[in-house]
Structure 1
């Protein structure tokens, strides 16, 4: 495989691959010590985001990169998932303590305390796993060393020498196309002569039925939105305001579907926690969770209608096809 020096002004696919991988690798390891102290949940959040973005860079630039086995996308993904288990529990804890518990009558708050105790037990086990993962001689340390060795003497595929402006659309379009073709866009739609559009005026029960039947598909669309967003954000300097607007749309899809998923996960977790104590589901909390999903569904339908529009999808493709040079 070829090697390639990264010049001060990055022009090639390999140059930008190096920049992206180095940036997100450094962000990832920056928070390692704080994560092990387990004092600030934000450190874990930032490290997890760093790992996700590093994985996106390794995947998105795969045609250009020749990374060592320990630094491959699969290894990054395994570590990110372990961090993710702990982070998800922190998100649940924050929602229970700051969003839902204050909204409940005191008669129902004791059930939240049961769930919080159960959560702490699970969190203790998840943190032990994270600590073990970040220890010496772990796959994480091997991955870290693999990247550090690569930075000293980077190796590339032959396509790394291609000009970035010429290949950028080829790099972005596969992920964008997978996003736009995802079957999640067709959850809760109806067909008419004028085309496909979201079903209007669904009540709370109908929304819950849709989510129970096809919530996993929407969750998968959320994950694809995250991948597209991370990859697009690597290249905002090459595009203008329209590209930035599409990037914001993708971020909004991720956030709205994330709110739906988080509410569903929280409901499942609470049910699991309360079964251990034979507690009953608080009526007000159940309604609060359902209302969160219902409001997020309304936001989702606006985005859904926009991206079921052919001209919007076509505009997205056209924008990706026309990168500009970096400003002087």
Structure 2
């Protein structure tokens, strides 16, 4: 987003309007194509826009007085409806293009049955999306948000300069991320190195790497924790993305980390969801009915896990966490950029 340097636009209230307008526009630009249901990418982009809109509404909550129809809960319900259809699209695409060609001839008929069932489920999910987008609740959401943007209503802090309050806006979401229990997922014990390292004189790190077998067990019993961490990283990413023009390269690096965390944990979550769907449809142990596919998903999870452990180690480093905070606390002045 390009900064307008006029005093009026550089207030907290006006940046709240800019953020909400940006993401609402993204949502509306894909709505018609989603209802035509010809390109899955349109659904994906509308879902992303809805999620980003929700992050903006949540992040700017201290300064905006939005109509009831534009509440976080209402936006979330619509996003989840779009998400159900998007998840099925992702599963069908992965099964058809990524997994099906690698299966044995004996396994392919079983997967054919799964694909037939998923196509039927997709038809039902699309009807639900269409009904949601045509429902008065969604129509009220769009209209009320547009009316608000035409005549925004703020709280008393709207005139505060954006540069002065950016840290206060960003740090609550970042702190919630850094305090998430998901960072300790898969770690039985932390050790503090006594010798100085390149990045820290006292770095807290995982004691050892877990095996693939243990990872599968942990994901079965505690996978929701990682999924929750991923959602918080996504909220931080979407909020930070609004303010890239106010910061420098270090900020951009942390923003890229948020994207990497979201995508890495998303790859793990996608295979977990797909496996659960396969079990529900086949009503059998897929290790027996689809052994090749089961092994591939397990391997993909473990490969994503290896990437995740690097990010996990990075954000368990107290120096990195402190630097993240300090980066947000010091948005450079115009003269410094």
CA RMSD of aligned residues (A): 1.9
Equivalent of 1:169 in 154, 167, 170? 167
Q: Does 1:88 align with 2:58?
A: no
How big is the shift at 1:191?
2.3
Q: Which residue of 1 aligns with 2:197?
A: none
More displaced stretch, 138-147 vs 102-111: 102-111
Hey, what's the Cα distance between the residues in 2 that align with 1:166 and 1:47? 32
1:222 aligns with 2:220: no
Match of 1:50 in 2: 49
Distance in 2 between the 1:184 and 1:326 partners? 37
Number of corresponding residues: 321
* Residue 310 to residue 11, structure 1, CA distance change in 2 (3 Å): same
CA–CA separation in structure 2 for the residues paired with 1:85 and 1:66: 30
1:279: how far off?
Answer: 11
Q: Extract unaligned runs of 5+ from structure 2.
A: 194-202
1:16-53 CA-to-partner distances (Å, cap 9, x unmatched) read: 00111111101101111111111110010011111011
Contact 1:92 1:266 in 2 (8 A): yes
Question: What's the CA shift string for 1:244-302, capped at 9, x where partnerless?
Answer: 001111111111111111011111111111129x9952111110010011101111111
Q: Which residue of 1 aligns with 2:106?
A: 107
Could you state the TM-score of these two structures normalised by the residue count of structure 1?
0.93
Unaligned 5+ segments in structure 1 are 1-5
CA distance in 1, matches of 2:162, 2:261: 28
Q: Counterparts in 2 of 1:150-189, with a 5 A limit?
A: 150-189=148-187
1:308 equivalent in alignment to 2:306: no
Tell me the TM-score normalised to structure 2 length.
0.91
- CA drift at 1:324: 2.0
Instruction: Output one character per residue of 1:44-80: Cα deviation in whole Å (capped at 9) or x when no partner.
Output: 0011111011111111111111111112222111111
- In the alignment, structure 1 residue 288 sits paired with structure 2 residue 286: no
